Chains A and B, each alone.
Chain A
Amino acid sequence: MTYKGRAFVYGDDIDTDVIIPARYLNTVDPQELAAHCMEDIDPEFVNKVKPGDIIVGGKNFGCGSSREHAPIAIRASGVSLVVAENFARIFYRNSFNTGFVLVELEDASTRFAMGDEIEVDLTAGRVRNLTQNKEYTFEPIPEFMLELVNDGGLIPHILKKQASA
């Protein structure tokens, strides 16, 4: 599975309040949420993002609240996956539970510049910075997480298990 897009690079501790501020949480509509994605840290994000683009973060990406609206907003904005040094645990669960892939890459936020072309090969565990012509490898995504993604998320996964039980 390969993803290719332009990088939107942010720093450490990107919290769910800047990913989608609580003032917009009076709706669960993905498109409405996407219209305000990253608003409090990068008001231009929604105007610039194109389908397939990739968000790159530092450590503890997605810290803060449990709002699933955060990965929903990111995904609905067209972003194909997030690469970060590491993720806050609820954001991590929420993403894989809804079939959205996250990649943990050492020093992620320092290895890319805004707008760099990135290619992520999940199977090979490899990230390419096509703009800077560099290549990095990452630890494989845990098997259980890939199982969730392949099943289409946690709910299809447990229904499948219930059906086969």
Chain B
Amino acid sequence: MPMNITEKIIAAHAGLEEVRPGQMVEVEVDLALANDITAPISIDVMQAAGVKRVHDPDRIVLVPDHFVPNKDIQTALLVKQMRIFAREQGIEKFYELDEMGVEHALLPEKGLVLPGDLVVGADSHTCTYGGLGAFATGMGSTDIAAVFISGRIWLKVPEAMKFVYKGALPRWVGGKDLILMTIGDIGVDGARYRTMEFTGPVIDKLSLENRLTLANMAIEAGAKNGIVAPDEITRAYVESRATRPYIEYASDPDAVYVETREYDVTGMEPQVARPHLPENTVGVSALKDVTIDQAVIGSCTNGRIEDLRLAAEVLRGRKAKSGVRLIVIPATRWIYRTAMEEGLFDVFLDAGGVVSTPTCGPCMGGYMGILADGERAVSTTNRNFVGRMGHVKSEVYLANPAVAAASAVAGRIVGPDDL
């Protein structure tokens, strides 16, 4: 029976020749991930069950990133619990300030996730790693506790949707716009429980970082995972980072999909998702009267070096409009240093912006840029739910880094070509 890439990876990790959509399987996990919000529950659950040792400390990654550097005493206690657990269990992949980063930017950068891997994380944006050709999906803390204990987890094999992107990607349009447009088309439950397989000539040419952005927001359509088949671009990225062998899977030509959608991206505008759902997508030109109080450039969606370079390209020689708070958050320590060495910090500072240490921070209303009532932000993050970045009466518009940068300058939501 023909299989798609997701089915092949699941089958290989379930020790089966083949799997079919709807089938319940138990899989071997290559890597389990948790952060400062979710790991403490996993640790509590494991300890409450009387289990003394994790199954395999080398397959566990713990990244405090949501509230780090610790924003208050409570979060300091959560991170302390993670630190002690990591030490006791011999978990070496515990990344605190000296190696810090937003988890989904950090793991690919360190070469911890490779094509063909099966990765589960107690964070919904774990699906990011599909950009590398891995099967990666978000789960809860109890799921991750189960992997701590047994190294395995239950999965239902998802049905697959195929997305084909054709045409010429215009300037200022990238992975973020492709995924926002797609979510706008299918809705926030349009891929519920399913796989989103991203294909086509546009994807073939898309940079690895843009593929990570694309897969990152698969969860925003309700998907179990998003995936791009590995190719030369993937190989070029993982070659210098991989410290173990990996397997490249590809979908069979006659693999079965419950649905296939084709898009021609020629002439596509940068996309923006209006409050309060990521499916409320419009072309940026529809929003010229929407003023903003804040622009955030960062997160596991768009806090990578290409994103910062893009924002800097727009901001160079320009200033954020008076009254607009521009917050730039490089997603990892390496990105932070690289941006600094490339002079991007000067561009952001000259524009009146601030540059934060890596953190998830404002994306989910944690800290480092919380909105008051009636305030509005344009943000390169992934969710614009009610109260997501602060006050229940604040608003978040989701966009790519170039649009966020241009909007900071204009004081209203615009694309770079409108400046």
Q: Kindly identify, within residues 123 to 161 of chain A, every residue whose CB is under 8 Å from any CB belonging to chain B.
A: 144, 153-156, 158-159
Given contact pairs A18-B386, A93-B143, A155-B49, A27 touches B74 in the complex (Cβ within 8 A): yes
Asked if B45 is at the interface (CB within 8 A of a chain A CB), the reply is yes
Complex: A67 Cα to B51 Cα, angstroms? 23
Q: Is the CB of A26 within 8 A of B74?
A: yes
Q: Is the CB of B365 within 8 A of A21?
A: yes
CB nearest to B67 among chain A residues = A26
| A17 contact from B24, B122, B145, B387, Cβ within 8 A | B387
Complex: A13 Cα to B221 Cα, angstroms? 11
Asked if A41 is at the interface (CB within 8 A of a chain B CB), the reply is yes
Chain A residue numbers with a CB within 8 Å of B193 are 89
Asked if B154 is at the interface (CB within 8 A of a chain A CB), the reply is yes
Asked if B413 is at the interface (CB within 8 A of a chain A CB), the reply is no
Q: Give the Cβ gap from B44 to chain A, nearest Cβ, in Å.
A: 7
Given contact pairs A94-B140, A155-B142, A155-B149, A22 touches B222 in the complex (Cβ within 8 A): no
Chain B residue numbers with a CB within 8 Å of A17 are 364-365, 383, 385-388
Q: Is the CB of B139 within 8 A of A154?
A: no
Q: Is the CB of B189 within 8 A of A59?
A: yes
Q: Is the CB of A159 within 8 A of B49?
A: yes
Using a Cβ–Cβ cut-off of 8 Å, how many residues does chain A contribute to the interface with B? 39
| A155 contact from B45, B222, B365, Cβ within 8 A | B45
Asked if B192 is at the interface (CB within 8 A of a chain A CB), the reply is yes
CB nearest to B71 among chain A residues = A26
Asked if B224 is at the interface (CB within 8 A of a chain A CB), the reply is yes
| B385 contact from A18, A90, A155, Cβ within 8 A | A18
Q: With contacts defined as CB atoms under 8 Å apart, how many contacts are there between chain A and chain B in the complex?
A: 131
Chain A residue numbers with a CB within 8 Å of B49 are 155-156, 159
Chain B residue numbers with a CB within 8 Å of A110 are none
Segment of B35-43, B56-64, B87-95, B329-337 in the binding face: B35-43
Q: Is the CB of B124 within 8 A of A64?
A: yes
| A97 contact from B24, B126, B140, B224, Cβ within 8 A | B140
Q: Give the Cβ gap from A21 to chain B, nearest Cβ, in Å.
A: 5
Interface string of A57-86 (1 = CB under 8 A from B): 001100111111100100000000000001
Q: Is the CB of A63 within 8 A of B188?
A: yes
Complex: A28 Cα to B34 Cα, angstroms? 14
Interface string of A26-47 (1 = CB under 8 A from B): 1110000000000011000000
Q: Is the CB of A68 within 8 A of B41?
A: yes
CB nearest to A27 among chain B residues = B74
CB nearest to B390 among chain A residues = A23
Complex: A40 Cα to B123 Cα, angstroms? 21
CB nearest to A23 among chain B residues = B365
Chain A residue numbers with a CB within 8 Å of B71 are 26
Given contact pairs A60-B189, A89-B224, A13 touches B277 in the complex (Cβ within 8 A): yes
Interface string of B110-130 (1 = CB under 8 A from A): 000000000001111010000
Q: Is the CB of A66 within 8 A of B75?
A: no
Complex: A159 Cα to B72 Cα, angstroms? 36
Asked if B200 is at the interface (CB within 8 A of a chain A CB), the reply is no
CB nearest to B155 among chain A residues = A93
Q: Give the Cβ gap from B39 to chain A, nearest Cβ, in Å.
A: 10
Chain B residue numbers with a CB within 8 Å of A158 are 146, 149-150
Given contact pairs A28-B41, A65-B124, A90-B140, A155 touches B192 in the complex (Cβ within 8 A): no
Asked if B141 is at the interface (CB within 8 A of a chain A CB), the reply is yes
Other 16 A-B pairs with CB < 8 A, given A17-B387, A26-B78, A66-B38: A13-B188, A18-B386, A21-B365, A22-B366, A63-B188, A65-B383, A66-B121, A66-B122, A66-B138, A67-B38, A68-B140, A90-B140, A94-B139, A94-B141, A97-B146, A153-B142
Measured CB to CB, the residues of B under 8 A from A are 24, 37-38, 40-41, 44-46, 49, 51, 66-67, 71-72, 74-75, 78, 121-124, 126, 138-143, 145-146, 149-150, 154, 188-189, 192-193, 219, 222, 224, 277, 364-366, 383, 385-388, 392
Can you list 27 contacts pairing A with B, beta carbon distance less than 8 Å?
Answer: A13-B189, A18-B385, A21-B365, A22-B66, A25-B37, A25-B66, A26-B67, A26-B72, A26-B75, A41-B386, A63-B188, A65-B383, A66-B138, A66-B139, A68-B41, A90-B124, A90-B139, A90-B219, A94-B139, A94-B141, A94-B143, A144-B24, A155-B149, A158-B149, A159-B49, A159-B149, A162-B150
